[in-house]
Chain A
Amino acid sequence: NAGVTQTPKFQVLKTGQSMTLQCAQDMNHEYMSWYRQDPGMGLRLIHYSVGAGITDQGEVPNGYNVSRSTTEDFPLRLLSAAPSQTSVYFCASSGRGGYTFGSGTRLTVV
């Protein structure tokens, strides 16, 4: 039982590049979400999904896209990376209780 798996763990992008952060869970959780964590700002919700085929925006969705074609996977796409998107990104899933977080992706945009 791997829980929530995020890849890659580290990434450096140039401004304007695009990329996809991968997130997969093997707990059959319906709810999945993406957060970004910046110093002094806690965890801010980017996008979330309550089940396959259903996604919605969180607090800071601009510059990011998501899709949920399966229960297991919830990738986050950066369309055109900007330095303001330098952050640590966490994926989380939930059944009926607490969230299980992945180990995070540390992204630097130069």
Chain B
Amino acid sequence: GQQVMQIPQYQHVQEGEDFTTYCNSSTTLSNIQWYKQRPGGHPVFLIQLVKSGEVKKQKRLTFQFGEAKKNSSLHITATQTTDVGTYFCAGGAASGSRLTFGEGTQLTVNP
């Protein structure tokens, strides 16, 4: 079955440093989504990418979908303490199909 792997599992940064998490799928994806889960909270949808090579930005967050539609990345510029949480990618094999979640990257930011 489809597998989605995410690295690193943990990342500790100083406030102001950049952060990147990577997501790799064993199969070609129709779309990839990214979620953020604050400690003790529930996952919150951030963005969906559907096109090969697509790049989207949300303020300090940059999301990229690979050309082969098998990998993706989330980059945060100049982290802030409000960025703390676990970031999940989730891949869909077909439009409207169920998502397979990666194991997440837990980000801690030291002030």
Contact = CB atoms under 8 A, between A and B. Distances in A.
Interface residues of A, number: 23
A88 to B, nearest CB: 9
Contact of A100 (B45, B100, B101): B45
Contacts of B42: 90, 101-104
A43 B96 contact: no
A37 to B, nearest CB: 9
Nearest to A35: B101
Given A40-B103, A48-B98, A96-B96, A101 B44 contact: yes
Nearest to B44: A101
Interface string A33-55: 10100001111110010000000
Contacts of B96: 31, 96
Nearest to A88: B42
A13 to B, nearest CB: 21
Contacts of B100: 45
24 contacts: A31-B98, A40-B9, A40-B103, A42-B6, A43-B43, A43-B88, A43-B90, A43-B101, A45-B98, A48-B98, A59-B1, A90-B42, A92-B43, A97-B48, A98-B47, A99-B33, A99-B45, A99-B90, A99-B99, A100-B45, A101-B43, A101-B44, A102-B42, A103-B41
